[in-house]
Structure 1
Amino acid sequence: MKIIVAGGTGVIGRSLLPKLIQNGHQVFALTRGNRSNTFLKRIGVTPVKADAMDRDAVLNAFRIIQPEVVVHQLTSLTSYNLIENARIRIIGTRNIVDACHEVGVKRIIAQSLSIACEPGLIPANEDVPLDLNAPNSRKINVIGVASLESAVAELPEYVILRYGLLYGSGTWYEKNGMIGRQVLKGEIKADDSITSFLHVEDAAQASVEALNWPNGPVNIVDDEPTTGKEWLTLFASEIGAPKPIFIDGSERGKRGASNGKAKREYGWKPTYPSWRIGFKLLAT
């Protein structure tokens, strides 16, 4: 198929693009500049200069390429700027979906989050509503996710990938990543919040497989939701950081997520079924 990937040079995109090429697809990557052109061309991807926040540029790119499928992996996670990330999910997604309408694209695969659901005592499945009544500290993230999911659902065929917290090369969760640096300084305390993690390679593979999945949201997380006291202790040990300080309590909505639907109904199987396996590779 002829596929446009938005966010193709991001953390997931760098793993995703080669997989799409290996599966025989004709792949185009939206880019804001030319810095990644050499890498893209080397792996067989055609770069297309268009900022997703520029509606006219996106429309023009879609008119020229006439894609059959769009894979939306746009985020703004270089720094911890939730407002900018929400803007991309709201405005960038709107521009992409409008371009799909314009040229007749019927299918979209879009990155969402599994941590935006309402609070609960067990890991969330796909039927749990988004936490639209969240307090201000959490609300901007939920609004961005809700806007993205609503927009992509306008297309006849859509798959919403609700990822867990990403770890692996280029993410916050490596020794030199944002979280890694904070843990090295002892700035993060370990509590009872439950997190579902996901290795970037598993996130990329799910995007490839989702080209053939039915409509709707699906949690893409590993098999083992974990408390902050568990994962942060191992993470600190693997990167050579001090043992974290333990505190009681948990953050709103930190309940983890279930990948039962992805595994049972779609046959998705993570290469890294537990964060424990993946974290062991952080120091190598």
Structure 2
Amino acid sequence: MTKIFVTGATGLIGTKLTKRLLEEGYEVAGLTTSQNGKEKLQNAGVTPYVGDIFDYDTIDEAIGDFKPDVIMNEITDLKNVDMAANTKVRIEGTKNLVDAAIKHDVENMQSQSIAFVYEGGKGLATEETPLDYNATGDRKVTVDGVEGLEKETARIKNHVILRYGWLYGPGTWYGEDGMIYSQFKNGKVDMTDGVLSFIHIDDAVETAIQALNFETGTYNVADDDPVRGDAWADWYANQLNVSPEINIAPAEPFERGVSNKKFKAQGGTLIYPSWKDGMKDIK
């Protein structure tokens, strides 16, 4: 039986992912930071390890004990929408994870990344499009985090990096009571007419499982329906049956959406080919 070690195992994606991996017949372990998380994993049938992604010794101990065939790196730090904290996790946390993996001869790793940090340009960005190295401010912090995570992950012999589009669904910014949802409900929305590429949280989970069989490389994971922000905002407001003040600013050059052709070429499939399918029941 293939053994899979999941970091961020009690997070939004991690909780769903560990459940689905068990259903698929894998032996699964998860990293959590608390006793409460440990109990949650135990109750779900996941082998729990309590550790700190910034404390190499705890990661080394967990990997050495479980001896996984595959590591799935799903850890993030977005609780307070703090880009610097999330970048620290991506760079330093992934380095600790990879160092431990190499020490214990783990040759397969998958990491969760993002698909909205490409440089500006015309048309949908592909995996060959450079990252936005000319970014400034919070965006530069985010780009630095993505670059660090992906460089560390690439130290593993067989690695897959999944660059997700904008996550939506229950528990996300676009789900009920999420940050974007609440802006529409509260009556004032500020956004641009840039192109958005979405991915449902359930598709993020399912494609992570599919990607266990992908060739080594980097893949954009987004639906088939890139959409301009202004068109999406009108549709979303209608779905919520609200009429907020929607202020649309001109798009930044990097707000261009992404192509999922490479993902599809590996046999990747989607539950929700369009955000309209996945958001249609939101109220």
TM-score normalised to structure 2 length: 0.95
Partner of 1:257: 258
Partner of 1:189: 190
Partner of 1:154: 155
- 1:152 and 1:244, CA in 2 relative to 1: closer, same or farther beyond 3 A? same
Q: Cα distance, 1:170 vs. partner?
A: 1.0
CA distance in 1, matches of 2:54, 2:281: 36
Q: Does 1:74 align with 2:75?
A: yes
Partner of 2:268: 268
Q: Cα distance, 1:248 vs. partner?
A: 4.0
Q: Cα distance, 1:236 vs. partner?
A: 2.4
Q: Deviations over 1:157-190 (max 9, x none)?
A: 0000000010111111112012212222234224
- 1:261 and 1:54, CA in 2 relative to 1: closer, same or farther beyond 3 A? same
Partner of 1:205: 206
CA distance in 2, matches of 1:230, 1:46: 45
Contact 1:111 1:161 in 2 (8 A): yes
Partner of 1:99: 100
CA distance in 2, matches of 1:10, 1:252: 32
CA distance in 2, matches of 1:18, 1:63: 23
Specify the code of the residue in structure 2 equivalent to 1:279: M
Q: Cα distance, 1:58 vs. partner?
A: 0.7
CA distance in 2, matches of 1:59, 1:19: 26
Q: Deviations over 1:60-80 (max 9, x none)?
A: 111111111100011112221
Partner of 2:123: 122
Partner of 1:90: 91
Q: Does 1:180 align with 2:181?
A: yes
Contact 1:199 1:272 in 2 (8 A): yes
The count of corresponding residues between Structure 1 and Structure 2 is 282
Q: Does 1:13 align with 2:14?
A: yes
CA distance in 1, matches of 2:169, 2:124: 23
- 1:241 and 1:82, CA in 2 relative to 1: closer, same or farther beyond 3 A? farther
Specify the code of the residue in structure 1 equivalent to 2:273: P
Structure 1 portions without partners, runs of 5+: none
Partner of 1:220: 221
Structure 2 portions without partners, runs of 5+: none
CA distance in 2, matches of 1:167, 1:5: 21
- Overall identity of the aligned pairs, in %: 38
Q: Cα distance, 1:224 vs. partner?
A: 0.7
Q: Does 1:36 align with 2:33?
A: no
- 1:219 and 1:244, CA in 2 relative to 1: closer, same or farther beyond 3 A? farther
CA distance in 2, matches of 1:281, 1:266: 30
Contact 1:232 1:244 in 2 (8 A): no
Contact 1:119 1:131 in 2 (8 A): yes
CA distance in 2, matches of 1:59, 1:83: 25
Specify the code of the residue in structure 2 equivalent to 1:182: Q
Q: Deviations over 1:78-132 (max 9, x none)?
A: 2211111111101111111111111111010100010011111111111111111
- 1:175 and 1:63, CA in 2 relative to 1: closer, same or farther beyond 3 A? same
Specify the code of the residue in structure 2 equivalent to 1:266: Q
Q: Cα distance, 1:252 vs. partner?
A: 4.2
Larger CA deviation: 77-86 vs 35-44 = 35-44
CA-based RMSD: 1.4
CA distance in 1, matches of 2:61, 2:91: 20
Contact 1:233 1:244 in 2 (8 A): no
CA distance in 2, matches of 1:224, 1:141: 25
Q: Deviations over 1:207-230 (max 9, x none)?
A: 111111111100100001111112
Partner of 1:242: 243
Contact 1:237 1:243 in 2 (8 A): no
